[in-house]
């Protein structure tokens, strides 16, 4: 079943509901009679996997980012290991 996002006009609460396409949600169970629901457009994420014309695959971009983060962590770890701390007794 599809998932829909709604926003209440009166209390401005945003929530999701799962129901069939033909069902029309009038109000949320805990809303008052004055509440009016408005369907909110859903956020859709599309990831394209293009390999032609020199573009990188999604997996390659992720792998390159992971390697870059590992190098940054190694550098930060080395800096912290070489740092001298003093006791303040």
Residue 48 domain-assigned? no
Q: Collapsing DSSP states into helix, strand and coil, what is residue 73?
A: helix
Q: Give pTM, 2 decimals.
A: 0.41
> Is 50 a member of any domain?
no
- What pLDDT is stored for residue 80 in this prediction? 79
Is residue 46 a part of any domain in this protein?
A: no
In angstroms, the CA 39 to CA 3 distance is: 11
Query: Are 8 and 33 contained in the same domain?
Result: yes
Q: Which domain range does residue 30 map to? A: 3-40
Does some domain include residue 51?
Answer: no
62 in any annotated domain: yes
Residue pair 35/11 in contact (Cβ under 8 Å)? The answer is: yes
- Tens of pLDDT along the chain (89 residues) come to 778 888 888 877 888 888 888 887 777 667 767 778 888 876 665 556 655 556 667 788 888 889 999 988 888 888 878 777 677 65
Q: How many domains does the chain have?
A: 2
């Amino acid at each position: 079943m599809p998932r829909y996002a709604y926003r209440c006009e009166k209390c401005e609460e945003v929530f999701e509901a799962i129901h069939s396409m033909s069902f029309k949600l009038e109000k949320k169970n805990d809303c008052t009679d004055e509440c009016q629901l408005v369907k909110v457009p859903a956020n859709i994420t599309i990831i394209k996997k293009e390999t032609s014309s020199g573009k990188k695959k999604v997996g390659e971009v992720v792998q390159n980012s992971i390697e870059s983060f590992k190098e940054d962590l190694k550098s930060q770890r080395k800096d912290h290991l070489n740092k001298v701390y003093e006791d303040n007794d």
